[in-house]
Structure 1
Amino acid sequence: MKQFYITLFLGLGILCSKINAQNVRVEGVVKDSLNAPLELANVLALNPEDQSIQSYAITDESGRFALSLPNNKTYKLKVSYLGYKTKEEDLVIGDSREKIFKEIVLFKDVNALDEVEVVQELPISVRGDTIVYKADAFTNGKEKKLKNVLEKLPGFEVDKNGDVKVQGKKVDKVLVEGKKFFDGDTKLATKNIPADAVDKVEVLQDFNEVEPTRGLNNEESLALNIKLKDGKKNIVFGDLAASIGHDERYFGHANVFYYSPKKSLNLIADANNIGEQAFTLQDYFRFSGGFSNLAGRSGSSFRVSSDDIGLSLLQDNRAEEIISNFGALNFNLNPNKKWQFSGFLIGSDIDTDLRSSTLRTYLRNEDDNNLEVLESNINQENKSGLFKFTGKYTPSKKLDISYNAFLKKSEIAQANNRLSDFAGVQNSIQSNSEQQPFSINQSFDAFYAKDAKNVFSFQAQHLYKEQDPFYNLITSEVPFNGGLPLIDDNVYNLLQNKEILTNKFDASFNYYYVLNKKNHINFIAGSSLSNQKLVSNIRQRESGTGDENELGGGFLNDADYNFSDIYFGLRYKVKFGSFVVSPGANVHFYNTTDTQQGNENKLSKTLVTPSLFARYSIRKSESLTLNYSVNAEFTDVNNIVLGTVISSYNTLFDGNRNLENQLFHRFVLRYTNFNSFNFTNIFGTLTYTKTIDGINNTVVFNGINQVLSPINSGDVNDVLSANASFEKRFVWFKTKLTGNLSYSSINNTINGLANTNTSFTQNYRLSFETNFRDAPNFEIGFDKTINNYEGSQTDSRFITNAPFANVEVGFLKHFLFTADYVYTDYINRNNDTNNSYDFLNASLFYQKEGSKWEFKVSGTNLLNTVSINRDSFSDFLISTNQYFVQPRYVVFGIKYDL
């Protein structure tokens, strides 16, 4: 395999060199009439017959540009710069392959067209903090969705989860025509917005929806605004698709969009049983409704546990069977310039079957057998709904008032049948988990700019949350090795009820005093108040009579927990030329009280949390940014309860009411550089997190059974990560190399002895991708992951090699063939496991030019691979997992473009 890829890459290198040898390099410089270089001017080489772009360039800080063009042709050279007259001239390239040099002088245009009109012709342009990409300059018309468009733009990445990065920085929001698309969710946008509707993609740096506070904070939020083509405005557009296949397989999907200046409606509907999930359980938990952590901005957080207690989240290609139904409606209404109303309604129903075989290595302090073989069959049913409403009132640029309400409701049930084999003892285990979590989050925000020097803001949030996880455990062997006071029985049937009620109120007041354009001060005052109530009990149901006996005593919980944080802060922001620095500090006064078993436990503490933001703009396309912050995190009621709780079939949990906060020191250094002269894009991020007195679990083993209890370790935990990417674009292809490194050192105790768990993960990815407008396109690459896990008497090493290839071929004018292939070689160095598997997916499309109808036949997992491998690492075990996946599916489909 290695020899094959080396030969292939060498062949591609020779091919590329031959392609370049047939081209002539045209270099030059663009200046103004005063001989000053013009940075970010657009240089286009056009076909004079149809005005199509043959090559383009963006000038660098020295005004330089470079084009690569086939010889023996004549082109129209067009040079544009905002505020200057566009210059056009013929460019004749003959037989000679010698480099051509051009010097272009532009003159100011006192009657310049509106900036927006000029931008429409330019592949890339910059307007302040906004970078605009003309989609048609980078695409070939074969793209299906927004995801395919973004992947062809310089510096863009879209992962399999729909997360988007631009020059290494994650995109927070996606807007369409200036309006948030399903609260800005990148996944729903990239997988559903039709590619042929996209005119331009605007990258909004330092994005801030609130006019009075623009330029005053350091959050560095990044957003994309998708500008639609004129033909997609004021009309209904989208597509309807349906497919059927063998074994009663089906797929149905609908995207319907409508955009006008005063309103927009987006409808997405999906139903299938081939594993194409429009909305996953992870998406449900990820959706926050756009609510930010007010206290977190000032270096403090109170962590409320999520709703997924005891439930598996394994989906996608790790599942044997997935049946998914999904519907979503997004709306934006602007009755006038002062009022805006928006929101969305999302509903999903997902039924998932998972089957896995797991080899677990427990990090115990014994030298004997620490291995468990675990066979699992899981069925998970999830019905969930989300609703958000936003009302916004902006009578002028000085005042911005908004109200938000966000509701989440779900019904989740999981049935898990396991067979455990440890030290020759087999245990048949059945567990059932159920819960119906509900939450409503409301916020009121007001921003007021009294004048250019005085800006005020008030923000308040309230969270009401109900959680009711139920856990039923049935085992053939005595559970937890006698750790519970159970009645002897043939089958042990335990039932655990838990109810958690949370009320959380946050408020923050900010006053910004702008001294001048380069200096301003931010005064902060705020509070965070929370109350949580938790009750739980464990019962044993006798197999003969069905009677239920409550364990009582130390297995009951009735806790009332109050947390308060009153804080005051000061931040200062100053700009020195290309350098911006903003130091700050916050003083927090904490009080916690928990009432359990008839007595109170109180804690009072005062902490100072400093912060620092600094950015050096080396040039418009190159910058270095540093973020440093200290965050004090307090745990919620789940970790302080005194009664024992069942966490899983072999794990009990005892809380610790004496827990204090853990303190995070976090450093983030980010470098970005886009060289418009040679289209090289480089970015890198270095992140270091130092946790002081971290909350870690102590582990006491009894065989494979364990009792966990959280403590403030008193030690320092370190997490260091680094990622970097190098991308270079040529006329018809691009190359990319990325690397991600992550190292962590976490301290805990195992059976009373100090233990340090270390993890070192390395991932490297090299790819080569063509981008011909008419010829077939392909991508090949190699992905390598190395995981090293080390704990008490254990050192494990896992290696995954994954070469991959994708192809897109148009033929006979109306046909398009696409395929993607990945081969995975998985190696577990500890037990000499070496598994190889591969996946091949392919689709054939037929659509006449100008027709609204498209026909396709597609197949997934065409090689009928049965299972895949993954590994994982936690405080007390290392797992090597084999997941059984969905079989081969072939479906025939039809799509109609609205």
Structure 2
Amino acid sequence: MKSKSPRTLYNYLQFKNISTRKSNNTYNIISILFTKQTKQLFWFILFIYSPLSAQNIVSGKIGSESGIILDNANITIRTVNKETVAFGVTNQNGEFSFSVKSGSYILRVSHIGYNTKQIEFEISDKTLSFETITLNEGYTELEEIIMDAEKKSVIQKGDTTHYYVSHFLNGTEQNLKNIIEKLPGLSISENGKITANGKTIDKLLIEGEELFKKQHQLATENISSKMVKNIELIRNYKSFETVNNDKETGVTALNVKIKDTYKNKISGNVESHYGRKDRYKLNIPGFVFKERLKLSIILNSNNLGTSPMGIEDYFDLTEQSQNKTNESQVIISNLNEVPRFLNPNNKVASSQTHFGTISLISTPSEKIKHDFYGIFNYSNQDEINSKQLTFNNTYETFSALENNSINEKNYFGVFKLNSIYKPNNYNTYQFKNQLNIDNTNLIKNVNSLTETQNTQVTESLTPKKIIFDSEISLNKTINSNYFSSNISYHYLRHNLYHELESNVPLFDIDFKNRNFNLKETILKENNKVSTNTSYLINKNKKTFSLYSNTFFSNNKLNSNTNELNEFSNNLNLKCFQSKTGFDLTLKPSKKIRLTAGINYNFAHNYLNKHYSNNLFLGYKSNFKVIFNSNHITELSYNYLNFSPEIDNLISGFIIKDYRSLIANNNISANDIFPYHQIRFSHFIFNPKSLFSYMFNIIYNIKDKALGENIVINQNFSITQSKTTNKDDTFNAFVFIDKTLKEFPLSISSSLSYSWNDKVYFLDDEQANFKQENISGMFKFSSNFKDFIANFNAGIKFSKDNFTNNNTSSRFVLYQPFLNIEGCITKQISWNLESKLSKYTNNKSEQYLRIISPKIRYLSLNSNWEFYISGNDILNLNRPIILDNNSTPTYFEEKRTYILQGYIIFGTKLNF
């Protein structure tokens, strides 16, 4: 077959699929009938055949008459002889840019739902930039047949699912969270994350900007339902810093559109609550939504146990952004424990939180963006619990009764600044900086009773941690190829002071007097410089990716306890590691992607004047079928490696708590721990039938693992890092969601199963530990528009089985629930949440009944709202819950005091 010119090829595909029409809607019909992948194929082929001598740049931006930015608008540049010289679509910001020769041309712009516009122009200079080209609204005959936004609640356009939220509201909604929970396929997880079809979304956008980063809870609980216009779920999302390329990003983003009445002004509310026993909450969110400026400020103070962040939020904020060597470097640490304020809030006896956050995104021009994000959190909480601990060693079984009283004060702050310069659609420069501060003051009083002694200990820990990250990056598109490079710097300083005062000697230490006092100091420092470079080549139906990642780190760990030699560590670990590899992706059809890759790794370590080198390989493979953006199947295999961190290499003891020591058995700096990872996922979302389904499996196989050797006696235990020959994990998850069209009901269910099967050593004798968990949820909800009440009912359950050699234990939680909400009038709405929790372990059983009512009065002639709220009103005195945990070291049955219920009165002023 002879090669075709761009015009011939375009016309061939055009007339093969639709007949010629004399209307101006031809290009709109093409954009509907062809998938986004086909459009990208057109663009790619046309760029390949475009004359290489083109020297001039034509660029511009497309918008609607109402000021809406139009992405995926079709752009065609033709000569006066009607020969097509360039063709493509606008990016997420409505921008386009093409290279053409000097001459006279016709620019044609079309978009679904808008009238086509043509502009004649001449170019002889190097650049020609159009002001914003405005399209007038107009609907084609074909568009009216396919979709009518006024009649449908969910509409699919390419990779974007549009939710018209007014179809789902019943008047009881107070914030964004209440809206999302009613949309098909979307939900809020128990840790506050937004999920789409069972999977946490990658990005949350407010008016197209990532204003809240990954802190979904801040957005969903502080953006009022009145402010929300519509919601979009975008697959293969490309942000401002993404340069034009045909690569599928795989990023899922949820974009919340704000009503025009809340734009270009200060909006938000002031909310205050107060109740018996001085329970209170004060919350002040404020927002500014302008075209070039987005601002959010949220202040919160409460003693109700509500925290603005969870443990996932903490890791999202503090994770090392520079760790881009991917599979070859995974950090495992014995020292880094998260603050206790991140524990589930119902497992504390008292809690007080003061929180503030500010997010500012400024776009002074179409080429520049500045993004600042800051969080400060102070928490003060008390925990009271009792534990029945059962220990097993190779000779005997013994137990301990432990009572704990813990107070923790934590100061936590994160500050991020990101600047982006994008001179055109083909180049992006970024400069990122992040500072984390995490200081804790913890006092723990312990009373432990065993058969041989009664131990009373006061532990004081003051860990102070500071982390700084900085990164400069360049992303560039060269023809249809993609180049990326960055250099980053990471600094960590972790200073820990640990003091123990006891009535008896600890750890068999020979104290010189009756003052059984231990003072431990630990200083850990890390300086790390990383570089990452990749080049992606697109050619025909192949994508070839070359990459190189290197880093150099200087790690120091010093510890000392009472000047005792066996408790002294003085380590200096210098590491240099590089990884070079390539990936090859084949596209035998529009739907199928086949990827295979290999990487070569070199690691050089220098630990206290001892050198070691390692050479190893990594592999990857992937099979992906993209039926459409809402139906994807993927199977992958990876052969990965990770290395131990410096605190796995200690030569002396480190104290973890009053009866636990950490040590090293046989781990060395040149150890490499390889493992196999198999993944499978299948995902379906049908916007017409309002049905979604997801199935995921992850299986990790480790034949050489970083394990433990545990030495236990009556009074303390020693956990040593040691190489083992097995540490396998398996996770499976299935999610189904269906909204009925004939009746306002929705059904949702999920089921997960996981296990961890590993080998460890007990007094140097091999043992086996296995933990299994099966958990799930089933619920059904109503959404009657004009009815006094709607309901959300179902059951949650979780079962853990622990097997340690020949002993076993279990912990089961069943939790049926019924939530009812409704409107008495337009001004009065109510909500009642109820659940019954049943806790069961090997020996005990416990029930906890929770009822939480709420009534809201909305003033129609003002911006005031009034509340009466109750939480867990059946347990206004201090309740206790049953918990269970098992490790290779011990079996634990735990009883914990939780927060008392409350009744509070509240007001809210919206502005």
TM range (shorter): 0.7 to 0.9
1:182 counterpart SS class: coil
Say whether the 8 Å CA contact 2:172–2:822 is kept in structure 1: no
Could you tell me which of 365, 383, 399 is aligned with 2:394?
Answer: 365
- Per-residue CA deviation, residues 629-678 of structure 1 (Å, 9 max, x unaligned), is 22211121111110111111111111355251222322221111224454
The one-letter code matched in structure 1 to 2:242 is E
Say whether the 8 Å CA contact 2:147–2:155 is kept in structure 1: no
Say whether the 8 Å CA contact 1:307–1:437 is kept in structure 2: no
The answer on 1:529 being equivalent to 2:552 is yes
For residue 121 of structure 1, report the CA deviation from its aligned partner: 6.8
For residue 117 of structure 1, report the CA deviation from its aligned partner: 12
Give the structure 2 partner of residue 206 of structure 1.
236
Give the structure 1 partner of residue 79 of structure 2.
none
Query: Taking structure 1 as reference, are residues 321 and 215 closer, same or farther at Cα in structure 2, changes over 3 Å only?
Result: farther
1:276 counterpart SS class: coil
Say whether the 8 Å CA contact 1:314–1:354 is kept in structure 2: no
Distance in 2, Cα, partners of 1:309 & 1:825: 28
TM normalised by structure 2 equals 0.81
Give the structure 2 partner of residue 486 of structure 1.
511
For residue 692 of structure 1, report the CA deviation from its aligned partner: 2.8
List aligned pairs for 1:418-817, cutoff 5 A: 418-423=446-451, 425-452=453-480, 454-480=481-507, 482=508, 484-489=509-514, 491-516=515-540, 518-539=541-562, 550-551=563-564, 553-575=565-587, 576-595=589-608, 600-655=609-664, 656=666, 658=668, 660-676=671-687, 678-713=689-724, 715-730=725-740, 731-775=743-787, 776-817=789-830
The one-letter code matched in structure 1 to 2:358 is L
Say whether the 8 Å CA contact 1:365–1:793 is kept in structure 2: no
Query: Taking structure 1 as reference, are residues 465 and 578 closer, same or farther at Cα in structure 2, changes over 3 Å only?
Result: same
Query: Taking structure 1 as reference, are residues 114 and 567 closer, same or farther at Cα in structure 2, changes over 3 Å only?
Result: farther
Which piece of structure 1 moves more, 208-217 or 244-253?
208-217
Query: Taking structure 1 as reference, are residues 149 and 117 closer, same or farther at Cα in structure 2, changes over 3 Å only?
Result: same
What is the root-mean-square deviation in Å for CA atoms of aligned residues?
2.9
Could you tell me which of 188, 194, 204 is aligned with 2:224?
Answer: 194
For residue 610 of structure 1, report the CA deviation from its aligned partner: 0.9
The answer on 1:416 being equivalent to 2:444 is yes
1:154 counterpart SS class: coil
- Per-residue CA deviation, residues 215-243 of structure 1 (Å, 9 max, x unaligned), is 4366x332212111222221221111011
Give the structure 2 partner of residue 12 of structure 1.
none
Could you tell me which of 351, 365, 371 is aligned with 2:380?
Answer: 351
The one-letter code matched in structure 2 to 1:862 is I
Which piece of structure 1 moves more, 727-736 or 260-269?
727-736
- Per-residue CA deviation, residues 513-537 of structure 1 (Å, 9 max, x unaligned), is 1113x32111111202111111110
The one-letter code matched in structure 2 to 1:412 is T
- Per-residue CA deviation, residues 835-885 of structure 1 (Å, 9 max, x unaligned), is 111222121110133631100011112011601222223332232222111
- Per-residue CA deviation, residues 80-125 of structure 1 (Å, 9 max, x unaligned), is xx95899xxxxxxxxxxxxxxxxxxxxx966889999976875222
- Per-residue CA deviation, residues 758-801 of structure 1 (Å, 9 max, x unaligned), is 01111122212111123211111112211100003320122211
Q: What are the ranges of 5 or more consecutive residues in structure 1 without an aligned counterpart?
A: 1-30, 42-81, 87-107, 540-549
The one-letter code matched in structure 2 to 1:445 is S
Distance in 1, Cα, partners of 2:33 & 2:510: 76
Which piece of structure 1 moves more, 159-168 or 384-393?
159-168
TM normalised by structure 1 equals 0.82
Distance in 2, Cα, partners of 1:500 & 1:671: 43
For residue 467 of structure 1, report the CA deviation from its aligned partner: 0.2
Say whether the 8 Å CA contact 2:881–2:897 is kept in structure 1: yes
The one-letter code matched in structure 2 to 1:180 is E
1:774 counterpart SS class: coil
The answer on 1:870 being equivalent to 2:889 is no
Distance in 2, Cα, partners of 1:738 & 1:523: 39
Q: What are the ranges of 5 or more consecutive residues in structure 2 without an aligned counterpart?
A: 1-16, 21-28, 36-110, 116-137
Say whether the 8 Å CA contact 1:121–1:134 is kept in structure 2: no
The answer on 1:273 being equivalent to 2:303 is yes
Which piece of structure 1 moves more, 659-668 or 468-477?
659-668
2:213 counterpart SS class: helix
For residue 725 of structure 1, report the CA deviation from its aligned partner: 1.6
Could you tell me which of 146, 149, 167 is aligned with 1:137?
Answer: 167
Distance in 2, Cα, partners of 1:270 & 1:149: 22
- Per-residue CA deviation, residues 42-70 of structure 1 (Å, 9 max, x unaligned), is xxxxxxxxxxxxxxxxxxxxxxxxxxxxx
Say whether the 8 Å CA contact 1:759–1:788 is kept in structure 2: yes
Query: Taking structure 1 as reference, are residues 779 and 197 closer, same or farther at Cα in structure 2, changes over 3 Å only?
Result: same
- Per-residue CA deviation, residues 728-753 of structure 1 (Å, 9 max, x unaligned), is 21131112221111111011101111
1:554 counterpart SS class: helix
Give the structure 1 partner of residue 858 of structure 2.
847
Which piece of structure 1 moves more, 573-582 or 287-296?
287-296
Say whether the 8 Å CA contact 2:827–2:859 is kept in structure 1: yes
Q: How many residues are treated as equivalent by the alignment?
A: 780
Give the structure 2 partner of residue 406 of structure 1.
434
Query: Taking structure 1 as reference, are residues 559 and 121 closer, same or farther at Cα in structure 2, changes over 3 Å only?
Result: farther
Distance in 1, Cα, partners of 2:886 & 2:268: 44
Say whether the 8 Å CA contact 1:679–1:729 is kept in structure 2: yes
1:486 counterpart SS class: coil
1:817 counterpart SS class: strand
Distance in 2, Cα, partners of 1:299 & 1:368: 41
Distance in 1, Cα, partners of 2:839 & 2:568: 45
Query: Taking structure 1 as reference, are residues 607 and 207 closer, same or farther at Cα in structure 2, changes over 3 Å only?
Result: farther
Distance in 2, Cα, partners of 1:321 & 1:779: 30
- Per-residue CA deviation, residues 424-446 of structure 1 (Å, 9 max, x unaligned), is 63211211110221111111110
Distance in 1, Cα, partners of 2:469 & 2:457: 38
For residue 406 of structure 1, report the CA deviation from its aligned partner: 0.3
Give the structure 1 partner of residue 317 of structure 2.
287
Give the structure 1 partner of residue 101 of structure 2.
none
Say whether the 8 Å CA contact 2:533–2:547 is kept in structure 1: yes
The one-letter code matched in structure 1 to 2:873 is L
Give the structure 2 partner of residue 3 of structure 1.
none
Say whether the 8 Å CA contact 1:534–1:557 is kept in structure 2: yes
Say whether the 8 Å CA contact 2:883–2:895 is kept in structure 1: yes
